[in-house]
């Protein structure tokens, strides 16, 4: 009797172990292919299974059925299987979200390593039931065979799945989050790996600004990145591409252009009496603008052909187009003349105190700056004797300083500009011609590349006053200038 009981117990244990050993088909799922089709999958505990087995029965919304053999085989979990959405296992009583760490009441292994499947085409939305038909089943094409351990169902629950197939399922987006399931869960990720919950992207444009001479160049590179945000808070599948964008270029010589405009205006300043000046400048660098202001002063005759005088003035230079520069220039002047046998020698020493404000734009960036500076120059000019035509010779020596400054505005293009000290010297040669009494024409060439032609009209008024009006056209390598000067000299 004891021997029989021991044998019975051994057989019972053997049957349980045998059932657990054979019951290795343990997961079920489906993935839409985006074209109205569906790949239906069953997973097995067995790793590296190299054959298909069993069949699957489909019951369609209209009640029609068909049974087909599995013909897809994968050693990795198929892409697109999302636990609890379109991928399930069994706890012995109902289907549950696939979890390789879940516990089965009969101790069945819950992780799948090999999958077999079948592709269905032409499906429509509605309720479907999929039934697993193992070998030996009454509906099997081989009812007299037995299932292998690889593809024997773990329990009866895992054999059947009823779903309401939606358009999202057929489109391959079973959880309707706008991400294709096959992109959300990669092949081989179903066994416990994190899933894609969203996708991210960024676009970053890098800038490198290079300044040289009168031009700044901004080299631009666009970096585009995409990535998957995973359910565990990490990111995966980072993809990055870099593209060189067209350079931005812009001029940085607004203050220098303002100084060029002032340099033209300063050559014809008169500090005797009260004088109004107006210049219109068109520069070859694309900038335009002008200089306007007033000078005043007086001259005293010391006798013996010698006279001296002092004066002051205020000029405003405006640079526009291709950036801006505003220059406020305050001038102090000491001047005089000496009659000699061959003509007259004029001399002058002028000191200008300049305040600068500038703005510029390059691409999407804007910068501004403010600084101060000085310009000091001495001029000696000889005008020869002549009833109608008189030679003109001269020399000018000066130094212009602009203090250093740091630009405000866009950090990507902001510059730190060093203090500059520029000495300059130029000679003057030309001639004056009296066209008729009170009307004088003058043509001058300056060795720094400036040529000018002017016409001056003087009219004596009552009470020892003289009205002067003149126009000048100046041309240089940097641009062209039209000038008007109107002055009034009163003798006391």
HEC string of 343-410 equals: EEEEEEEEEEEEEEEEEEEECCEEEEEEEEEEEEEEEEEEEECCCCEEEEEEEEEEEEEECCEECEEC
Q: Alpha helices, DSSP H only, in 137-189?
A: 167-171, 181-184
Global pTM value: 0.64
What pLDDT score does 180 carry? 87
DSSP string, 5-42: HHHHHHHHHHHHHHHHHHEEEEEEEEEE-SSS-EEEEE
DSSP secondary structure letter of residue 83: B
Distance CA 484, CA 402 (A): 28
Q: Quick one: tokens of 340?
A: 């000699």
Angle at 44 between CA 42 and CA 45, to 5 degrees: 155
Inter-residue contact 228 to 235 (CB < 8 Å) = yes
Q: Alpha helices, DSSP H only, in 289-338?
A: none
R_g of the chain, CA atoms, integer Å: 48
> How far, rounded to the nearest angstrom, does the alpha carbon of residue 332 sit from its chain's CA centroid?
48
233 torsion bin: left (phi>0), alpha (psi -120 to 50), beta (else): left
Q: Quick one: tokens of 187?
A: 């092949």
What pLDDT score does 464 carry? 80
Distance CA 415, CA 332 (A): 32
What pLDDT score does 5 carry? 31
Inter-residue contact 205 to 221 (CB < 8 Å) = yes
Per the listing, tokens 């931005």 go with: 248
Using alpha carbons, select from 375, 368, 273 the residue that is nearest to residue 315: 375
- 177 CB-contact burial (10 Å; exposed 0-12 / middle 13-18 / buried 19+): middle
Distance CA 420, CA 407 (A): 16
- 20 CB-contact burial (10 Å; exposed 0-12 / middle 13-18 / buried 19+): middle
Using alpha carbons, select from 274, 299, 292 the residue that is nearest to residue 329: 292
pLDDT, one tens digit for every residue, the chain (492 residues) = 333 233 333 333 333 333 344 458 999 999 998 787 899 999 998 888 999 999 999 999 999 999 999 999 998 889 999 988 999 999 889 999 998 888 888 878 888 889 999 999 989 999 999 999 999 999 999 999 999 989 999 999 999 999 999 999 999 999 888 888 888 888 877 644 556 678 899 999 999 999 888 999 999 999 999 998 876 678 888 999 999 999 999 999 999 999 999 999 999 999 999 999 999 999 999 999 999 999 999 999 999 999 999 999 999 999 999 999 999 999 999 999 999 999 999 999 999 999 999 999 999 999 999 999 999 999 999 999 998 999 999 999 999 999 999 999 999 999 999 999 999 999 999 999 999 999 999 999 999 999 999 999 999 887 788 899 999 999 999 999 999 999 888 775
What pLDDT score does 45 carry? 87
DSSP secondary structure letter of residue 140: S
Q: Quick one: tokens of 248?
A: 């931005």
Q: Strand 38-44 relative to strand 114-120: parallel, antiparallel, unpaired?
A: antiparallel
With H, G, I as helix, E, B as strand and everything else as coil, classify residue 184: helix
438 torsion bin: left (phi>0), alpha (psi -120 to 50), beta (else): left
What pLDDT score does 374 carry? 98
- Non-local (6+) Cβ contacts of 413 within 8 A are 207, 209, 216, 218, 250, 362, 365, 367, 407
Distance CA 91, CA 105 (A): 7
Inter-residue contact 413 to 217 (CB < 8 Å) = no
DSSP string, 423-474: EEEEEEEEEEEEEETTEEEEEEEETTS-EEEEEEEEEEETTTEEEEEEEEEE
- Non-local (6+) Cβ contacts of 407 within 8 A are 367, 368, 369, 413, 414, 415, 416, 417
Distance CA 137, CA 245 (A): 67
Inter-residue contact 248 to 221 (CB < 8 Å) = no
Cα distances (angstroms) measured from residue 188 to each of 115, 181, 226, 429: 11, 13, 21, 90
């Amino acid at each position: 009797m004891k021997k029989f009981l021991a044998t019975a117990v051994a057989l019972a244990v053997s049957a349980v172990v045998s059932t657990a050993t054979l019951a290795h088909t343990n997961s079920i799922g489906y993935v839409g292919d985006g074209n109205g089709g569906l790949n239906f999958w069953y997973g097995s505990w067995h790793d590296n299974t190299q054959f298909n087995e069993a069949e699957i029965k489909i019951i369609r919304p209209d009640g029609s059925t068909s049974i087909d053999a599995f013909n897809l085989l994968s050693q990795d979990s198929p892409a697109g299987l999302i636990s609890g959405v379109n991928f399930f296992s069994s706890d012995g009583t109902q289907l549950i979200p696939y979890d390789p760490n879940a516990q089965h009441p009969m101790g069945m292994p819950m992780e799948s390593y090999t999958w077999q499947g079948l592709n269905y085409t032409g499906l429509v939305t509605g309720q479907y039931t999929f039934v697993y038909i193992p070998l030996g089943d009454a509906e099997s094409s081989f009812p007299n065979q037995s299932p292998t351990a690889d593809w024997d169902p773990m329990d009866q629950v895992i054999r059947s799945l009823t779903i309401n197939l939606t358009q999202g399922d057929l489109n391959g987006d079973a959880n309707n989050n706008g991400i294709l399931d096959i992109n959300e869960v990669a092949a081989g990720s179903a066994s416990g790996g994190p899933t894609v919950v969203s996708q991210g992207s960024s676009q970053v444009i890098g800038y490198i600004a290079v300044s040289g001479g009168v031009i700044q160049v901004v080299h631009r590179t666009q970096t585009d990145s995409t990535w998957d945000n995973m359910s565990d808070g990490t990111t995966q599948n980072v993809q990055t591409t870099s593209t060189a964008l067209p350079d931005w270029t812009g001029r940085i010589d607004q203050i220098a252009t303002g100084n060029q405009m002032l340099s033209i205006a300063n050559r014809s300043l008169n500090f005797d009496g009260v004088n109004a000046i107006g210049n219109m400048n068109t520069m070859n660098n694309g900038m335009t603008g002008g200089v306007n202001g007033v000078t005043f002063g007086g001259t005293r005759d010391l006798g013996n052909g010698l006279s001296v005088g002092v004066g002051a003035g205020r000029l405003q230079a405006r640079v526009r187009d291709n950036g801006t520069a505003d220059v406020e220039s305050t001038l102090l002047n000491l001047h005089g003349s000496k009659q000699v046998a061959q003509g007259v020698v004029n001399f002058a020493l002028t000191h200008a105190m300049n305040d600068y404000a500038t703005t510029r734009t390059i691409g999407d960036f804007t910068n501004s700056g403010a600084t101060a500076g000085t310009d000091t120059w001495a001029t000696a000019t000889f005008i020869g004797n002549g009833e109608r035509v008189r030679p003109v010779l001269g020399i000018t020596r000066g130094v212009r300083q602009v203090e250093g400054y740091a630009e405000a505005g866009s950090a990507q293009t902001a510059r730190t500009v060093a203090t500059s000290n520029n000495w300059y010297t130029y000679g003057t040669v030309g001639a004056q011609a009296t066209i008729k009494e009170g009307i004088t024409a003058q043509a001058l060439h300056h060795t720094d590349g400036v040529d000018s032609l002017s016409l001056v009209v003087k009219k004596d008024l009552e009470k020892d006053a003289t009205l002067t009006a003149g126009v000048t056209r100046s041309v240089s390598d940097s641009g062209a200038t039209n000038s008007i000067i109107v002055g009034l000299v009163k003798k006391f």
